C-alpha cells in the first residue's frame, strides 16, 4: 500500500490534492472496516451475555453483566478464560438441573478459542517489533500468515461456541422453570 502511495506521489501528473483524496479515501475505508468489526464483536458479546442470563442464578459462577468486561483491551486476554468456561458451565448445570443434557455446552470449544486468541496475540505482538530487511521479509510474511490462519481459526471457534451456548439457552428456555 505504501509503495502504491510512494509511486503515486512521484508520478508527475499526481497533484497533492489528488494524493490527499487517495489518503482520505483509504482512511474512510479503514474506519468502515473497524466499524464493521466493532459491530460484529458487540453482536457476539450480546449473544454470550444473553445466554449467560438464562442460567439459574444458583448455577451462575459469575454475574452475566461481567461478560461486558471483555471490551477492555488487554484485560480481555485474561478475562476470556473466566467468561467462556463460566457461561458454558452455568448453562450446562442449569440444563442438567432441569433434566436435560447439553454436554459441556461449548466449554471445550470456548477454551480452545481462548488459547488460539492468546497464541495469535503473542505471535503478533512479538513479530510487531520486527523491521524486516530484504532477508527477513520471508519470515515476516510467514508470521503474518500464521497470525491470519490463527485469527480465522479463532473466528470459527467463536462461531461454534456461540452456536453451542445458544443451543443450550434454547433448551433451557424450552424446559421452563
Residues 6+ apart with CB under 8 A from 8: 14, 18, 19, 22
**Domains held by the chain: number:** 1
- pLDDT tens-place string over residues 23-73: 777 788 778 878 888 898 899 999 999 999 999 999 998 999 999 999 999
Instruction: Say how far apart CA 3 and CA 152 lie, in whole Å.
Output: 27
Q: Give the pLDDT mean for 122-136.
A: 66
pLDDT at site 150: 92
Whether residue 7 has pLDDT greater than 70? no
Range of the domain at 25: 2-175
Q: pTM of the full predicted structure? A: 0.78
- pLDDT tens-place string over residues 19-28: 777 777 778 8
**Residue owning grid cell 479503514:** 30
Q: Give the pLDDT mean for 107-120.
A: 95
pLDDT at site 20: 74
* Closest among 31, 92, 34, 96 to 60, alpha carbons compared: 92
Amino acid at each position: 500500500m505504501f509503495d502504491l502511495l510512494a509511486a503515486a506521489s512521484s508520478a508527475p501528473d499526481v497533484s497533492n490534492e489528488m494524493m490527499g483524496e487517495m489518503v482520505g479515501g483509504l482512511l474512510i475505508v479503514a474506519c468502515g472496516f473497524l466499524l464493521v468489526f466493532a459491530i460484529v464483536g458487540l453482536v457476539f458479546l450480546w449473544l454470550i451475555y444473553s445466554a449467560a442470563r438464562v442460567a439459574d442464578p444458583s448455577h451462575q459462577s459469575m454475574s452475566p453483566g461481567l461478560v461486558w468486561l471483555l471490551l477492555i483491551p488487554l484485560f480481555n486476554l485474561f478475562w476470556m478464560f473466566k467468561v467462556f468456561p463460566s457461561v458454558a458451565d452455568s448453562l450446562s448445570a442449569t440444563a442438567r438441573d432441569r433434566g436435560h443434557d447439553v454436554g459441556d455446552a461449548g466449554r471445550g470449544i470456548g477454551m480452545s478459542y481462548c488459547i488460539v486468541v492468546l497464541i495469535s496475540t503473542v505471535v503478533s505482538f512479538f513479530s510487531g517489533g520486527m523491521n524486516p530487511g530484504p532477508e527477513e521479509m520471508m519470515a515476516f510474511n510467514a508470521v503474518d500468515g500464521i497470525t491470519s490462519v490463527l485469527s480465522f481459526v479463532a473466528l470459527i471457534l467463536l462461531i461454534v461456541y456461540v452456536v453451542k451456548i445458544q443451543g443450550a439457552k434454547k433448551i433451557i428456555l424450552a424446559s421452563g422453570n
